[in-house]
Amino acid sequence: MKCISHAVFVNGKFCKDPKLVSEKDFFFPGLNIPQNTSNPVGSTVTPVNVVQIPGLNTLGISLVRIDYAPYGGLNPPHTHPWATEILFVMEGTLYVVGLIHFQFNVGKANAVAFAGLSSQNPGVITIGNAVFGSEPPINPDFLTKAFQVDKSVVNFLQKQFCCETRHSALPWLTYKYYVEEDVGIGWILSNVLNKILAYSLRITASQQIVSSLAFVADMNNKADIGDLGKISHPTPETKSVQDLMEGLKFVLVFVLLALASSLTFASDPSPLQDFCVAINETDGVFVNGKFCKDPKLVSEKDFFFPGLNIPRNTSNPVGSTVTPVNVVQIPGLNTLGISLVRIDYAPYGGLNPPHTHPRATEVLFVMEGTLYVGFVTSNPENRLITKVLNPGDVFVFPVGLIHFQFNVGEANAVAFAGLSSQNPGVITIGNAVFGSEPPINPDVLTKAFQLDKSVVNFLQKQFWWDNN
């Protein structure tokens, strides 16, 4: 990747001369290192995209690490204009929402998540910043009409985001001092809403405390979730907060319920609707992907997969096991152009054998252990590019190229990878060439590999293990 443009712009980045490319262009270290979350929102996003790994250019995928502070760390409502996101929670408990989406740490400890995104440069549009903090500001008359609120509310919000206050630290409510440990969903909803409002709409901490306390206290008297936020006996102090909340409620509804629009683009065919949850009914008709479930029947289960933190058994001939999370495991990935895998490697030589993904680039993150990894470029050069990876390191395997990972350590190794397809496919070279069904004619292989026919016959008789 070059940054010299001479006033010429391309959809991506300029390309480095392939002869000058090295393993450094596909590598990023340190993603295992916890990040500082002492900031107004209580979260930090560490991106690994084409800026950090130039080799991602044109490959349609990237990665992020997200650290959340305990008791309310928030990744505020935002959207990625050029990517679908698949999130894996490594530590902690998160309350999540999408398409305009957020994550909120409802646990008592730090939380950590990793996400693959279906673009080399997914972009981020944080809703509050974009709507009320643009430079120059959007005409208040437009926002007044758009959100059906009084102009004073719009002016208030624009002042919170403008200029010198945009990056200033705000005093945040530490929820553990104000609510009991076990208040359940009322606490979650109260603090999710208040934290989102407080960041995205810049409500002050004192107002937040009053609102949160009144909200939680009143939850005990609410049987109907439709009554949430209506305080039964407001004091003058809580009444002022309620007045402001009333003016902001349309903005909050916009942030949380604008789930009917999506701007996702991917290496797979781009979706033409919010989502297309896969179903297996075909009636003899085939499509490029899966048929779509009726959107009215879609639920959170269609976007969820549990247990990716559980170690897998690696006692097999190659000493590795791949756990896929693609459209088969999560039907909601249909049309969204991304998936995820966990790979477990046995110590002293656990191998993910040479293979290729015909429909996806892979971005690999090493969680534990030491891996020797590499890929081979296409004909005629067939250059081997390799790197030894340690915990926290990230490496890219470009779409379609033969690649492998080998555990050179004395302990188990674990890696996670994002792939730029809902169904990336796997072609393990040995299995495909010598284990096809029916077998490839031995004469073909004898000539192709310049081997004695007896060697080819021997290889074709072997049992070729599939670790996927």
More confident residue, 214 or 443: 443
Report the range out of 235-239, 255-259, 352-356 with the highest average pLDDT: 352-356
Amino acid at site 463 = F
What backbone phi and psi angles, to 5 degrees, belong to 6? 50, 45
| Closest CA relative to residue 80, chosen from 30, 26, 25, 130 | 130
The CA distance from 352 to 320, in Å, is: 6
Is the model's pLDDT at 368 over the cut of 60?
A: yes
The string of DSSP codes covering 212-255 is: HHHHHHHHTT---GGGTT--SS--HHHHHHHHHHHHHHHHHHHH
| Closest CA relative to residue 29, chosen from 58, 80, 65 | 65
Is the model's pLDDT at 200 over the cut of 60?
A: no
Average pLDDT over residues 430-447: 91
Reported as a pLDDT band with limits 50, 70 and 90, residue 356 is: very high
Report the range out of 1-15, 92-106, 252-266, 435-449 with the highest average pLDDT: 435-449
Residue 362 annotated as part of some ligand binding site: yes
More confident residue, 289 or 116: 116
Residue ranges of the alpha helices (H) in 327-426?
none
Contact 354, 320 (CB under 8 A): no
More confident residue, 196 or 76: 76
Of 47-51, 139-143, 167-171, 377-381, minimum mean pLDDT range: 167-171
The CA distance from 413 to 347, in Å, is: 7
pLDDT score for 37 = 96
Strand segments (E) across 165-219: none
More confident residue, 115 or 242: 115
More confident residue, 55 or 227: 55
Reported as a pLDDT band with limits 50, 70 and 90, residue 204 is: very low
More confident residue, 467 or 186: 467
Q: What are the Cα distances from residue 101, in Å, to 86, 109, 124, 166?
A: 12, 22, 11, 21
Residue 437 annotated as part of some ligand binding site: no
pLDDT score for 247 = 52
pTM of the model: 0.74
pLDDT score for 311 = 96
pLDDT score for 253 = 43
pLDDT score for 390 = 98
Of 324-333, 370-379, 455-464, minimum mean pLDDT range: 455-464
User: What is the chain's mean pLDDT, rounded?
Assistant: 78
Contact 99, 153 (CB under 8 A): no
Reported for 461-465, long-range contacts at CB under 8 A and 24+ positions apart, including other chains, are 462/434, 462/435, 463/317, 464/428, 464/430, 464/431, 464/434, 464/435, 465/316, 465/317, 465/318
Reported as a pLDDT band with limits 50, 70 and 90, residue 32 is: very high
Tokens of 236: 């003058």
Average pLDDT over residues 137-142: 82
Is the model's pLDDT at 283 over the cut of 50?
A: yes
Residue ranges of the alpha helices (H) in 280-346?
none
**Angle 391-397-402 (CA atoms, 0-180°, nearest 5)?**
120
Is the model's pLDDT at 184 over the cut of 80?
A: no
The string of DSSP codes covering 427-439 is: EEHHHHHHS-SSP
pLDDT score for 150 = 85
Is the model's pLDDT at 230 over the cut of 70?
A: no
Q: Which helix (H) or strand (E) holds 191?
A: helix 185-200
Question: Nearest 10 degrees: CA dihedral of 270, 275, 280, 284?
Answer: -50
Is the model's pLDDT at 224 over the cut of 50?
A: no
Residue 101 annotated as part of some ligand binding site: no
pLDDT tens readout for residues 41-96: 899 999 999 999 999 988 889 999 999 999 889 898 888 878 889 999 999 998 88
By 3-state DSSP, what share of the chain in percent is helix, strand and coil, each rounded to 5? Answer: 30, 25, 50
Q: Which helix (H) or strand (E) holds 46?
A: strand 43-48
More confident residue, 344 or 129: 344
More confident residue, 258 or 76: 76
In this structure, the number of other CB atoms found within 10 A of the CB of residue 269 comes to 12
Residue 403 annotated as part of some ligand binding site: yes
pLDDT score for 83 = 86
Q: Where are the domains of the chain?
A: 128-257, 434-468
Reported as a pLDDT band with limits 50, 70 and 90, residue 408 is: very high
Is the model's pLDDT at 330 over the cut of 80?
A: yes
Residue 281 annotated as part of some ligand binding site: no
